[in-house]
Structure formats: C-alpha cells, structure tokens
Amino acid sequence: MVMIIIAVGAFYAIPNLFGEDHAVQVVATRGAEVNVSTQTQVNEILSTKGIAVKRSELEDGQLLVRVANADQQLLAKEAIAESLGDKFIVALNLAPATPQWLESLGGSPMKLGLDLRGGVHFLMEVDMSEAIRKMTEAKIADFRTDLRSEKIRYSGIRQSAKGIEVQFRDAENLAKAERFLKTRSNDMVFSDISSGDNYLLLANMSEVYLKQIKEEALQQNITTLRNRVNELGVAEPVVQRQGAERIIVELPGVQDTARAKDILGATASIEFHMVDEKADAAAIASGRIAASSQIYERRQGGQVALQKAVMLTGDHIQGAQPSFDEYSRPQVSINLDAKGGSIFSNVTKDNIGKPMATLFIEYKDNGAKNPDGSVKMDKIEEVISVATIQARLGRNFVITGLDHSEAQNLALLLRAGALIAPVSIVEERTIGPSLGAENIENGVQAMIWGMAVVLIFMLVYYRGFGLIANLALTANLVMVVGVMSMIPGAVLTLPGIAGMVLTVGMAVDGNVLIYERIREELRAGRSVQQAIHEGYGNAFSTIADANITTFMTALILFAVGTGAVKGFAVTLMIGIATSMFTAIVGTRSIVNAMWGGKRVKKLSI
C-alpha cells in the first residue's frame, strides 16, 4: 500500500521536471474566430520571420504556439499581432512542456501563482454610487407600475437629493399610496414630507438594503469579470474580492498590460429598450422627440430613438449562444433566469410586432478624479442591434438582424454577464517572468539547503533509523508536489514554497518523537521489538495532536485568507497530511520489513 501511494504521488510529480515552454496565445474577440486557417496563417508568418515553432496547438477556439526561448517569443508575438490585427488577442504565455503521452494519462505540472510565473495584477474598484443609482431608477419604475395598477393617482415621481419623491394632488391619495407601497417595498423607508398644498411622499432605501445592494454589486461583478476572463481564454486567472468595494484580478503568464486590459474587456452592461416608433429620422435629426425617449448612436452608423424605460437588464441572462435560423441567417439564442423570463414575458406581450433594441453601455476611465478621490468614468452608450418582437417572449428567445461576427461578439458579452456597476483600475502591476524565475530559484535553494541540513543531522544522529527517516522525508516532498499537481484549483505561490520548507521540518519532527521514545524504551530495559512497538504506539497521540491543531490553523487561514495566504495554507495542509503518512505509516513499514519478527539485540538508532 505504501509503495503504491508513493508511486502514484511520484507519477503526478514527474511532469514538474519538464519545465515550461515559452509560448504565444491567440484568442479571438470582436466576432472573429480562431480556426485551422488561423493556425496555418500564424505558422506561415513565423516561418517567414525565421522563428522556429516547437509545437502549434489548436484547442477550444484558442491557438497556442510554442517557441524556443523568450527572445523568439517576443518576436513571434509582435509578428502575429501585426498580421492578425485588432480582432485577435495575442498574449505572451508559458505552456507546460509535459510530454503528450504523460498528458494523456492525466499528468500535469503544478500551477504557479503570479509571484512565481509572472503576469499582470489589477486592483479594480466598483462604483457603488452607480449601482445605487441604477437600483433607484428601478424602484422609480416599480412605483409607477404599482401605483397605476392600484389606480392611485399621482402627479409625478422623481429622484432628489433627499431620495425618491412621489407627488400627489391630495392627502387621500398620498395616504393610500403610503399604505400600499409599504406592503410592496419592505426594503424602503417612507415618510410624509408634505407642506401646505404640496403633498409629497419621500422614499429612501433602508441601511440593510443599501448594504445588500453593495454586496450584490461586488459579487455579481466578480462573477462577471471571472466569466469574461474565462471566455477569452486566459489560463489560470485569479478574480477575488478585497474589502467592501474592490476586486483583485491576476492573469498569470500575461506580460502585456495593455492587452491584459483588452482581455478583461469593456466594463459594460446590456439593457433592452423598446424603439420609439413615433420618432422619425427628421425628428431624431432635429432632436424633437418625446420626453420619455432618448436618442442613441447605432454601432452600425446612424441614430435611433429608444424609450427610456428599461425592459430588462443583462444580469438576468443565464446563457447566450450564436446560431442560425431556418434561412441560415445569424442570430443569438438567449436563455433567461426565472425572474427575467417572467419580467420579459410581461413586457413583450403587448409589444408584438414592434422593434426592440439592445443597448450596450460602456464605462471608461477618463484619467480624471472625483472630489472623493475615486476614478472619474465616462459613460458611452450605443445600440448594437434592433430586432422585431415576433411573439410573446419568455425565458428563451432570439435576437436577429446581426451579421455573423456581431452575433458571435454579442453572445460572448451576454454570456459573460453584465456588470451591475462600472469598475475602474486603481492599481496595476506587471511581474516579469525573470523575477518569477528568480523567486522559484531562491525558494528551491532554500528548500534544498534546509532539507540537506535535516538529512545530514538525521543520518548522523540516528544512524540506520535516520536513513529511514530521510527516505520518508524525500517521499513526503515528492508526495506534496504530486498532490499539488493533482488538485485542479491548487496554485503554488512563493509563500507556498515556504509552506513546503516548513513541511520538511514538521515531517522529520514526527520521526524525532518516535525515535526518542524508542531510545527511552531501550534504556528502560525493553526488548528491541517491544521498544519499537511502544515507541510508535505512544508517540502517535503526541504527533497527531500537534499536526491536527496545525491543520486546523491552516484550514482557518484557507477559509479567511486570500491570494498568497491561501496558497500557503493549501501547501501546509497537504504537507501535514503527507508527513503524517510518511512519518508514521511509511517508516513503520520499513522498520517492520527490516527488524520485525527477527531476533535483534541492538538497533542502529
């Protein structure tokens, strides 16, 4: 059993010996597609430039081209980017050099964190004021709908510095509205602020509701950014929260900061609006349209007037796939969640045969700062498609009127989700691969020297039993690397290497406790067999207590920590589990094989 377990650990650890190839990754965006013709074109480009290609792989709509060294990697990236144009993302990457036969058996190296592999680090801040503004607009729309459904007459609803103000002509309607809205909006606080003949009902969001909005905005943006990074093919990304309003995005292996921003994509959202059919071209050109409508630019050129009321936002979209109709015309098939399907069904049943527009809203950093120090954002809005509602729509419907590339691009944006609030980059760092390689070298050197000192000490101090401990220690390190390589989500960071060094000391600590107990039993006059039995049996509880408490601490670090702290905790937990196995079960099996059941008068301990 011990040999099989160690052999499995060694098998999964072997891929880490092959290192990594310098590679260039090509991913399509803006409606383009990476296919066999793209692969052929890239290979021809590199051949013309005299850059030797070690291997070219096309998988899951991504092209990975391996080259000999870092210099050729930079030349290849520049040549490919210049030839393919801005419809493709060309990024530097490091690809495992594991042989294909080993990959086919499930072998792969450990995933390295940003501090070891190099890459791009972004700290992004969510604009919570925009999230609250959008939710306020949604509440105003809900109030209008609810009051009309109850036939409660009101003069107007608007947002002011105090909150949402609903104006009435008399006190009776105000009282009715207050009673009714309180039953429909438990998350709002209502107060009568009437003065004279001015009957006003003020509605403000409760503190609990505001906190909920901010939390949901942060969590949804994290999910959306993660989806966008995954959609665009960045290997092993890290997207996680930091504090109440910030998100960390790490893209290991990517060295081009500008391209990394492209990979994250526009911090955009999607909204569906009805087209204002009463506004003709002349009215739009002169700007004479209804107050309930607004003029927007079309991506294809020209202008269109849309009703201000939002039919549906992109946060209800669960899936979006490009497809073709029965006449082979491109379309986007959309799947909504239950709530979104219900909303869309209600708003489209009375608009069959009328045009509906998809509005793409993008927020860009203009370089200026707000008075509170936050990044100032410019809001850019454009209509990306206009389609006619053919029937009452539910959870599943299609958007037509697009060409093939537009359908591909729209599906990607919708599938990735909409940001409920814009985000801005407040900090960015690029960690070069040379620094990552230096970190790895320093970490490995620390591990080698630390392990060498421990091995020499154990061999000199415990002689034959020290040799057994050294074998167990080596097997433990191999198993830690193997288990780290097996776990899909495990990432090795620089603190993770520190965790492995710490594991070396903890692994030998168990053997020291066992061997010292055996020595005590021998001094007490026990026979060799009794001393071995008592030594392992009595030391086990002490070793288990120490390791379990350390494991629980590491588990807490993993639960509450982020980034490097979490990487350290994972390595430490794995190291504790493997060291318990090798120090107790592994060494005992060797000791039993060598001295068990034999008449031995003296031990080499």
Q: For 291, which DSSP code?
A: T
- pLDDT value at residue 190: 92
Percent of the chain with pLDDT over 70: 88
- pLDDT value at residue 405: 65
Domain boundary among 166, 187, 209: 209
User: Does the pLDDT value for residue 355 go beyond 80?
Assistant: yes
Looking up residue 39, the CATH number of its domain turns out to be: 3.30.70.260
Query: Is residue 384, in this structure, part of any structural domain at all?
Result: yes
Instruction: Name the residue with higher pLDDT: 205 or 142.
Output: 205
- pLDDT value at residue 259: 55
Percent of the chain with pLDDT over 90: 9
- pLDDT value at residue 366: 61
Q: Does an H or E element contain 246, and which?
A: strand 246-252
CB-CB contact of 513 with 584 (8 Å)? no
Looking up residue 305, the CATH number of its domain turns out to be: 3.30.1360.200
Instruction: Name the residue with higher pLDDT: 174 or 564.
Output: 174
- Say yes or no: 384 and 316 in one domain: yes
- Average pLDDT of span 502-509: 82
- Say which range, 28-32, 343-347, 532-536, has the weakest mean pLDDT: 28-32
At residue 321, what is the residue type?
Q
Q: Does an H or E element contain 375, and which?
A: strand 375-388
Query: Is residue 308, in this structure, part of any structural domain at all?
Result: yes
- Say yes or no: 68 and 52 in one domain: yes
- Average pLDDT of span 472-495: 86
Q: Which residues contact 283 (CB under 8 A, 6 or more apart)?
A: 289, 305
Band of pLDDT at residue 233, cut at 50, 70 and 90: low
- Say yes or no: 33 and 142 in one domain: no
Cα 26 to Cα 60: distance, rounded to the nearest angstrom? 11
Cα 316 to Cα 333: distance, rounded to the nearest angstrom? 14
- Say yes or no: 326 and 396 in one domain: yes
- Say yes or no: 441 and 577 in one domain: yes
User: Beta-carbon neighbour count of residue 549 at 10 Å?
Assistant: 10
Query: Is residue 371, in this structure, part of any structural domain at all?
Result: yes
**Helix 433-486 vs helix 564-580: angle between axes, to the nearest 10 degrees?**
40
- Say yes or no: 588 and 475 in one domain: yes
User: Does the pLDDT value for residue 240 go beyond 80?
Assistant: yes
- Say yes or no: 388 and 450 in one domain: no
- Say yes or no: 491 and 564 in one domain: yes
Cα 273 to Cα 34: distance, rounded to the nearest angstrom? 33
Query: Is residue 55, in this structure, part of any structural domain at all?
Result: yes
Phi, psi (deg, nearest 5) at residue 473:
-65, -40
Domain boundary among 72, 96, 120: 96
The count of domains in the chain is 4
User: Does the pLDDT value for residue 330 go beyond 80?
Assistant: yes
- Say yes or no: 422 and 291 in one domain: yes
Band of pLDDT at residue 456, cut at 50, 70 and 90: very high
- Say yes or no: 32 and 162 in one domain: no
Cα distances (Å, whole numbers) of residue 206 to 7, 132, 203, 211, 212:
60, 12, 9, 9, 10
CB-CB contact of 419 with 317 (8 Å)? no
- Say yes or no: 279 and 413 in one domain: yes
- Say which range, 108-117, 259-268, 366-375, 531-540, has the weakest mean pLDDT: 259-268
Query: Is residue 119, in this structure, part of any structural domain at all?
Result: no
What average pLDDT does the chain have? Answer: 82
- pLDDT value at residue 551: 92
- pLDDT value at residue 14: 92
The token pair at 428 is: 């960015």
Q: Edge-to-edge strand order for the sheet containing 355-369?
A: 303-307, 293-298, 375-388, 355-369, 267-274, 312-313
- pLDDT value at residue 434: 67
- pLDDT value at residue 387: 80
pLDDT digits (tens, 9 = 90+) for 370-406: 676 666 667 778 887 788 888 887 778 777 766 776 6
Query: Is residue 36, in this structure, part of any structural domain at all?
Result: yes
Query: Is residue 543, in this structure, part of any structural domain at all?
Result: yes
Band of pLDDT at residue 11, cut at 50, 70 and 90: very high
Q: Which residues contact 577 (CB under 8 A, 6 or more apart)?
A: 483, 551
Helices (H), 246-390: 257-264, 281-286, 338-348
End-to-end CA distance of the chain: 26
Query: Is residue 337, in this structure, part of any structural domain at all?
Result: yes
Closest CA to 494 of 452, 451, 449, 436: 436
- Average pLDDT of span 23-29: 78
- pLDDT value at residue 428: 81
User: Does the pLDDT value for residue 552 go beyond 90?
Assistant: yes
Looking up residue 497, the CATH number of its domain turns out to be: 1.20.1640.10
Domain boundary among 178, 209, 240: 209
State how beta strands 164-168 and 303-307 pair. Answer: unpaired
- Average pLDDT of span 312-332: 78
75: domain range? 20-96
- Say yes or no: 551 and 568 in one domain: yes
User: Does the pLDDT value for residue 230 go beyond 80?
Assistant: no
- pLDDT value at residue 592: 86
